[in-house]
């Protein structure tokens, strides 16, 4: 009698197991959300900010194998550590919790009276309620440039709303640090960059702990495009490190004398690459030993021009522009600040018709550009003078190098098609939805022509304004809750502590408001703009992947035999034809001072020729032809121009068999002759 119940229980157990196995075999496969929600941390600190997004983040790729999602191509997660550590108040995260992370700078208490940089950038008297957590009465706000806008949970909300790529630009400025009244550390730029890189990795580890260990969090620092694609395929956020600083590698210039060397540049690039940096600016705000900058204008231009003088010993210098591109006008900015300068300082006056920086890409700057190309890094051209940008684009076009970025509307917009034609990527600054949509519409045809998506550069913590509220009474306000762009999540008003933000009345107060801003763009600019933005991650990774895969072409002309119609005679320097093919950009061939001159290169044997690059000295050809021949007797014109303007020209044409290549000058661009530093001949 004691055994029968036992056998019955055993029979029931066996049957139950069989039914369970059958159910598992025949029933539907459970989704990833059927168990734990992988996107929800198991150990979030308490208290903490709310995310206010529900639904599983989208994963995988589309039918074409492309990633999806938005890209913030320009943000500064750790700039609170820059400028001496007290310019941006509050931190992105803290092991001690949100109350420690989101608190104001000490000098802002009790009422903001000493918030000097706040009223310099914000206007008014700078007074504000300094209390952050938990009340947030006055900050973060769309028009406050000195308070933390990148708290990690707000970044999480942006990710949950569809963002899949985030470029964290490590940023600082030694001069701003040195003149600012409050600081708690030194002003060396590279020291700050190293610290910000370390803290970005620390943030990754901090988030990983919430999800159970290394590699499990949604915040993933990536160092190549394949890693980024895999991270996005998993539905997580791919974070790329960039650098935006005024004196990279110590390359400042004082009275036009460079304070760095080629060795410093190589050492610096190697160090940054080892830190995981894959994109960078070579100049920012102040002219340096590498390049001239695109000016700021109005009152900010005044302040920065004074900073330029204090840092370099020279004010900005302008000249008339040679093309449609121009730098920002600065007017009489420096003279407005004459009283603040050392006695006897001669302040320049600026011609309104001269809006281009005389300083372009220096020889050291070109060395740095080519060093980045060797390391397959992407170059940010925003903040470069148009003269410097033009030279960079010439170099990239000569080498078919796609690694060029404009991440936050700081290049002249006339460069846009050249960037796209190289395979580069363009993002617009986080303007208000109306302005953003209008600019997106202006460049829509170009994106369609080149089959690319679009990005935004929020520049949070970058000392810039952000979209203001359009008002609760606007005809088409953001209505909460709303669906994310992919349709898989529901987004409600964002709450942190006692404060709940509403985009209609608060604007883009912090990075967590990105989904709300995108919804506002949809309402104002239409679904098409949002769809272009949703293709942004794929386009950014296309540019990055193309950069990684780039192979330097073989220069068939290097070391080849060269002859010419003439060579300028000089008792101290040789201008012989071979100087244009010796691989040394510091030497050159120069002709007599008359038209109808030529330089002929013998490749030694017949090759397929499809691209010729010409690096002109100041004496350039305005009208000239590139001619090809297999026997040196019969010539055919492969390419010609009558509007040459010097610099670095790239002649592209259908690949043609040739042993001899001739550059035939018809009309000079100056009173001198024709002079070429280097001629490159390539198969394609």
pTM, rounded to two decimals: 0.90
pLDDT score, position 26: 33
Q: What is the pLDDT of residues 204-232, one digit of tens each?
A: 999 999 999 999 999 999 999 999 999 99
10: pLDDT strictly greater than 50: no
Question: CA-to-CA distance for 576 and 561, rounded, in angstroms?
Answer: 11
- 481 prior amide bond cis, ω within 30: yes
pLDDT of residue 642: 97
Evaluate if residue 5 carries a pLDDT over 60. Answer: no
How many other CB atoms sit within 10 Å of the CB of residue 333?
A: 25
- pLDDT for 101-135, tens place per residue? 999 999 999 998 888 887 777 777 888 999 999 99
The pLDDT confidence band at residue 334, using thresholds 50, 70 and 90, is low
541 close to 165: Cβ distance less than 8 angstroms: yes
> pLDDT by residue (tens digit) across 456-475?
999 999 988 899 999 989 99
Give the list of residues 6+ apart from residue 258 with CB closer than 8 angstroms, or none.
251, 289, 362, 364
- Beta strand residue intervals within 578-674, DSSP E: 589-590, 597-616, 621-629, 636-641, 648-668
Write the CB contacts of 5 (distance below 8 Å, at least 6 apart in sequence): none
Report pLDDT for 337: 63
Average pLDDT, the chain: 92
pLDDT in tens, 25-58: 333 333 333 347 999 999 999 999 999 999 999 9
Instruction: Please give the structure tokens belonging to residue 425.
Output: 């990527």
Q: How far apart are CA 425 and CA 419, in angstroms?
A: 7
According to DSSP, the residues that pair with 651 across neighbouring strands are: 612
Asked if the model's pLDDT at residue 516 lies above 80, the reply is: yes
Instruction: For strands 404-406 and 636-641, give the pairing.
Output: unpaired
Q: How many other C-beta atoms are found inside a 10 Å radius of the C-beta of residue 108? A: 26
* pLDDT for 470: 94
pLDDT of residue 16: 38
Q: Backbone phi, then psi, for 464, in 5-degree steps? A: -145, 155
8 A C-beta contact, residue 37 and residue 56: yes
Residue-wise over 417-434: b if at least 16 C-beta within 10 A, else e?
A: ebbbebbbbbbbbbbbbe
Q: Tens digit of pLDDT for each residue in 389-421?
A: 999 999 999 999 999 999 999 999 999 999 999
Query: Degrees (nearest 5) of the Cα angle 76, 79, 83?
Result: 140
């Amino acid at each position: 009698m004691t055994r029968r119940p036992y056998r019955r229980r055993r029979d029931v157990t066996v049957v139950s197991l069989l039914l369970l196995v059958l159910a598992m075999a025949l029933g539907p496969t459970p989704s990833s959300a059927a168990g734990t929600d992988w996107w929800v941390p198991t150990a979030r600190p308490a208290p903490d900010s709310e995310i206010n997004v529900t639904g599983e983040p989208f994963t995988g790729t589309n039918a074409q194998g492309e990633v999806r999602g938005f890209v913030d191509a320009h943000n500064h997660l750790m700039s609170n550590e820059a400028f001496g550590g007290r310019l941006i108040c509050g931190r992105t995260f803290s092991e001690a919790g949100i109350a420690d992370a989101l608190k104001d700078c000490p000098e802002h208490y009790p009422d903001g009276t000493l918030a000097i940089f706040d009223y310099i950038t914000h206007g008014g008297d700078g007074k504000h309620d300094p209390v952050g957590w938990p009340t947030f009465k006055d900050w973060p706000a769309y028009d406050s440039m000195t308070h933390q806008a990148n708290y990690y949970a707000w970044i999480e909300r942006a990710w949950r709303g569809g963002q899949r790529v985030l470029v964290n630009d490590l940023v600082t400025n030694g001069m701003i640090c040195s003149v600012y009244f409050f600081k708690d550390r030194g002003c060396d730029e590279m020291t700050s960059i190293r610290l910000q890189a370390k803290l970005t990795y620390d943030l990754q580890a901090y988030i990983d702990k919430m999800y159970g260990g290394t590699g499990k969090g949604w915040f993933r620092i990536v160092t190549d495009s394949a890693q980024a694609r895999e991270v996005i395929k998993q539905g997580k956020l791919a974070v790329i490190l960039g650098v935006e600083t005024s004196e990279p590698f110590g390359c400042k210039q004082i009275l036009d004398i460079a304070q760095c060397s080629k060795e410093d540049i190589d050492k610096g690039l190697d160090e940054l690459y080892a830190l995981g940096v894959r994109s960078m600016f070579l100049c920012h705000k102040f002219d340096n030993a590498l390049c001239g900058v695109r000016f700021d204008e109005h009152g900010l231009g005044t302040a920065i021009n004074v900073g330029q003088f204090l840092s370099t010993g020279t004010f900005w210098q302008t000249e008339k522009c040679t093309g449609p591109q121009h730098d920002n006008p600065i007017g009489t900015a420096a003279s407005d600040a004459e009283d603040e300068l050392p006695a006897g300082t001669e302040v320049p006056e600026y011609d309104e018709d001269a809006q281009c920086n005389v300083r372009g890409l220096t020889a050291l700057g070109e060395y740095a550009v080519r060093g980045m190309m060797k390391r397959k890094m992407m170059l940010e051209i925003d903040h470069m003078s148009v003269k410097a940008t033009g030279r960079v684009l010439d170099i990239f076009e000569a080498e078919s190098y796609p690694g060029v970025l404009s991440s936050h509307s700081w290049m002249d917009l006339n460069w846009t098609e050249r960037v796209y034609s190289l395979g580069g990527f363009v993002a617009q600054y986080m303007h208000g939805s109306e302005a953003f949509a209008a600019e997106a519409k202006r460049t829509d045809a170009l994106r369609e022509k080149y089959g690319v998506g679009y990005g935004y550069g929020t520049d949070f913590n970058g000392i810039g304004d952000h979209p203001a509220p359009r008002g609760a009474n606007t005809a088409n306000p953001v209505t909460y809750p709303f669906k994310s762009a992919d349709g898989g999540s529901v987004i409600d008003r964002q709450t942190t502590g006692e404060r709940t933000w509403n985009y209609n009345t608060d604007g883009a107060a912090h990075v967590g408001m990105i989904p709300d801003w995108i919804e506002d763009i949809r309402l104002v600019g239409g679904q098409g703009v949002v769809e272009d933005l949703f293709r942004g991650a794929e386009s950014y990774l296309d540019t990055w992947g193309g950069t990684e895969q780039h192979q330097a072409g073989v220069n068939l002309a290097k070391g080849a035999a060269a002859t010419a119609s003439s060579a300028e005679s000089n008792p101290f320097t040789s201008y012989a034809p071979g100087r244009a093919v010796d691989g040394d950009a510091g030497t050159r061939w120069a002709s007599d001072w008359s038209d109808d001159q030529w330089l002929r290169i013998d490749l030694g044997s017949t090759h397929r020729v499809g691209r010729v690059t010409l690096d002109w000295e100041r004496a350039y050809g305005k009208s000239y032809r590139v001619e090809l021949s297999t026997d040196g007797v019969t010539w055919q014109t492969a390419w010609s121009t009558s509007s040459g303007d010097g610099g670095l020209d790239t002649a592209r044409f259908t690949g043609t068999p040739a042993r001899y290549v001739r550059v035939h000058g018809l009309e000079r661009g100056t009173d001198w002759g024709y002079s070429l530093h280097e001629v490159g001949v390539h198969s394609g």
